[in-house]
Chains A and B, each alone.
Chain A
Amino acid sequence: GDSVTQMEGPVTLSEEAFLTINCTYTATGYPSLFWYVQYPGEGLQLLLKATKADDKGSNKGFEATYRKETTSFHLEKGSVQVSDSAVYFCGGGSTLGRLYFGRGTQLTVWP
């Protein structure tokens, strides 16, 4: 079935470092792709999304580009902050309600 696979963590970076969290998808069609973020003790918040190939989602300095040729949707940020410490989930969805997630990547940013 449809699924996403994301880089396992934890990822530990110093403040202002460059972040990449890899995500690839497997789907029979062309799913919408999402990145959600979960801060400690909170629910999931949508970080960014892309609905078709070559779309770039961006928010709060984070970016991800929907690449059909490599079936990828890698999350990047040029300069992370301590406040970015959270768990990041890659997700895909192509039919009603079937939003499937990767296993989450814990990011810790040190000052």
Chain B
Amino acid sequence: DTAVSQTPKYLVTQMGNDKSIKCEQNLGHDTMYWYKQDSKKFLKIMFSYNNKELIINETVPNRFSPKSPDKAHLNLHINSLELGDSAVYFCASSQEARATIYFGEGSWLTVV
């Protein structure tokens, strides 16, 4: 039943490791996003894909690489994790421009 689901929900890993967060939406939406929420709750868009094509790529280190195998999935791969990458990462989706964006429950990443 979950509209936007992401895994894992919690991830604790050491600096320098490579990790992935997976996201799937069953809403039939064309557009998917990754947002980052820092420790002060500030939310910022990282990437957006429309029909598997990258359309927004904000100023994000190239250690972060999104991958969209199909329009229902958008995974986030992070190389060489750093302490500053610790945050909550939210996947989201929407049907079209100006449409409501639906968020997943978040993935809490802690880098130690």
Q: Which residues of A contact B (CB under 8 A)?
A: 31-32, 34, 36, 38, 42-46, 49, 51, 87, 89, 93-101, 103-104, 106
Contact = CB atoms under 8 A, between A and B. Distances in A.
Contacts of B44: 101
B105 A43 contact: yes
Contact of A49 (B33, B50, B97, B100): B100
A43 B43 contact: no
B94 interface: yes
B31 A96 contact: yes
> Binding site of A, secondary structure by majority: helix, strand, loop or mixed?
strand
Contacts of A97: 31, 33, 45, 48, 50, 55-56, 94, 97
> Binding site of B, secondary structure by majority: helix, strand, loop or mixed?
strand
> Interface size bucket, B side?
20 to 34
Nearest to B40: A103
20 contacts: A36-B103, A43-B103, A43-B104, A44-B43, A44-B90, A46-B100, A87-B41, A93-B98, A95-B97, A96-B48, A96-B55, A96-B56, A97-B33, A97-B45, A97-B50, A97-B56, A97-B94, A104-B41, A104-B42, A104-B43
A34 B102 CA distance: 12
B46 to A, nearest CB: 11
B101 interface: yes
B66 interface: no
